[in-house]
Structure 1
Amino acid sequence: MVKTFHDVNRPAPSEPAADPAIRTFHDQAPKPAAPAAAGPAAMFPAGATSTTPAAPQGTAPAAAAAQAAAAVQTFHHLPAREAAPRPVPPRVLFADRAVTAEAIDAQWREATRAALADCDCADFTPDDPTLQRIRMMAAEIRFDDAVYQTRYASDVAETLRQLQDELARKIGDGAIGRLQAASRRMLEIVRGIDLDALDSHSVSGRLADWWKGRDARRAALRAEFEAAGGAIEREIAGTRADLAALGQRLAEFGTLYARNETVFELLTVHLAAAHLRLRQTEAELPARRAALAGVTDPFARQAVDALEDAAAQWRRKLDNLRLLRHTTLLTLPQLRLTQRNLHATLNRFGDMIDVLLPAWKQQFITALALPESDDGSLFDRLVEIQASLRKPMEELFK
């Protein structure tokens, strides 16, 4: 027997009475008992009509039950719902998009290279980033803006002017001229040493031989040599500052060359971009002019006239950019030639003060210190030493 909460005993009378305002499940009326299981006929009261068709007499009980079950509608007859789409996981933006060389299509590459050839820039081979920069610059050009057209590439032209001025200052400051002047003075000092007193075949040599003795002649020559050496040392000391400045300038010429290359590339990019934009506008102008047939709007005609005038101004701008680019191109070998000449001058001067003059002094002193040598052989030896120094010093001025 199944017991429900209706069979729970009420509280005993001895327990305190509950508050009448509080209702519990004990105060609820008992629910009627569920009807016993019955067939389909018992589910309808007497006199009610069932929606289930009555089984014909003589039908088997199993067939009648199947017919009754078929009349019952359930959720199984409904069509199945489609499965919800699976969420797509997030991915990196532009992950399937190339942003380097592949982003530039072949048609644009060919158009840009053709533009470079048309504007006399065939000597420039652009890489993919440069092609992309030309493309972006051409798209950003405000073609009919007079102020924009005037200022176009003006910063690049100013950079070129500053570079030319800096190059002129570095070449024309006179440091190389001061080095050459000091070298000439040192050469005159070396030539001023009189060796004829040791030549027995010369008049001065015979007079010195009659008037002075052998030791006196050599002592006078040694004193003259020491005075010449002191004068040469003072000349060398005066060139130290110029040598240091020229050494620094030699490194700066490499920087100037790199800057000039950058200016050359920038001018090429500006020239190619403007040429592309001009060619595009010139291709559109005939159609825009033909579209004015029968148009009485003066502003429409003025717009086309202004566009044609802007095209003429851009052609003039392109001519100026070509001239600037050619100037930059000529500056490149000039920088290399100046750098090479400066390098050669510094090397020759450094060889003279670091190698030739110390060797000359040592050989001269050694020749004068040989007691067993006669004046004739000493004279020949000193003449040879002098010639070994004069020849490279004279080459310094070529």
Structure 2
Amino acid sequence: MTSQPPSDPTRPADVYLDHAATTPMLPEAIEAMVEELGVVGNPSSLHTAGRRARRVVEESREQLAAALGAGPSEVVFTSGGTEADNLAVIGAYRARRADDPRRRRVLVSAVEHHAVLDSAQWIADHEDAELELLPVDGLGRLDLDAARACIERDPGRVAVLSVMWANNEVGTVQPVREVAELAHEHGIPVHTDAVQAVGQVPLDFAASGVDLMTVTGHKLGGPVGVGALLAVRAAPLTPLLHGGGQERQVRSGTLDEPAIRAFAVAAAVAVQRLPRTVARLTALRSALVSGVRAAVPDVVVNGDPDPAGRLPGLAHLSFAGCDGDSLLYLLDAAGVQCSTGSACSAGVPQPSHVLVAMGLDEPLVRGALRLSLGHTSTERDVEAAVGALPAAVARARGAALPVPTGEGVA
């Protein structure tokens, strides 16, 4: 058994500003999950324990659907956001192509999460899809005119279109409803990755008009390892996993009943607290950005400057002349934990595709940091980050720092 290194009494208390990667579980979700972990039962079993577990799953399905503006029959539970994105993009492509072999075009915004981008790239490489990236403006928002032109160039060959609800790096909210209206003029199904949006901005599946929507537990105060794809009953989907067909015959696998209950509870709490969350996180972010600007005047704040057009608790900052990974490790040594972008691509030495698509200059792409606030964030956290940044920036600019291998952002 390997012993743990002793804690460093001189190290500052950790300040966690990486809630966009994963946020601590809500107490209500922890309580619900612990209750279920002590009870046995496979929701597919027909005996008493199995029926009890099935009842919990179905009540959780109803609770999650109500929180997200969906019908219970539209909720397909998955192992998380990545699986749901894969099922939406690949599953819709296969179903639409089977119906009409001409449908090979797959349209996704250039700033999608890699769970969408890489799924689309995979079917381009292996299943003859034609992947087309829809451009964004300097704020990271989809160019609707360009999207319309792309769709109308050959709408009958489009299999599926995917545009995220809110960007996971810079926080910009996308015009999802307008995209859905545009695509539906031509009978094209629309998917949106709403992983970052639940509990952060108003969200309603039915009102949005989309056909498929991805959500996950660990971004909103639920557990890691559970998510859902919301899918209208008419959504074209070919299963990726085969077995018992537990979820509408489009997703097989034994359901994780404790995680599902905790996920549903967390989603309900997050949505119910949305107005307070937005007000509190907006104020904290404003204090953070103002403090950083005062301490490092040449900082560049990326994304939409209008609070109505971005996630309330996310600040994406660029420091020219710095390396983002160096800043991350310097801040971590000072007790402030943040990221350089998306944790799912952490440790990969390549520029952010989001910032590149936005047209940022190379020094601003290289020197980017994401600081994201959540339900445990406090004014003291903000003060600690503002206090640690000037020295980190000065040191990063003053020397070529060796960067240890490790993980970045989610």
State the TM bucket, normalised to the shorter chain. Answer: under 0.3
TM-score by length of 1: 0.17
Q: Which has the higher strand share?
A: 2
TM-score by length of 2: 0.17
Structure index of larger Rg: 1
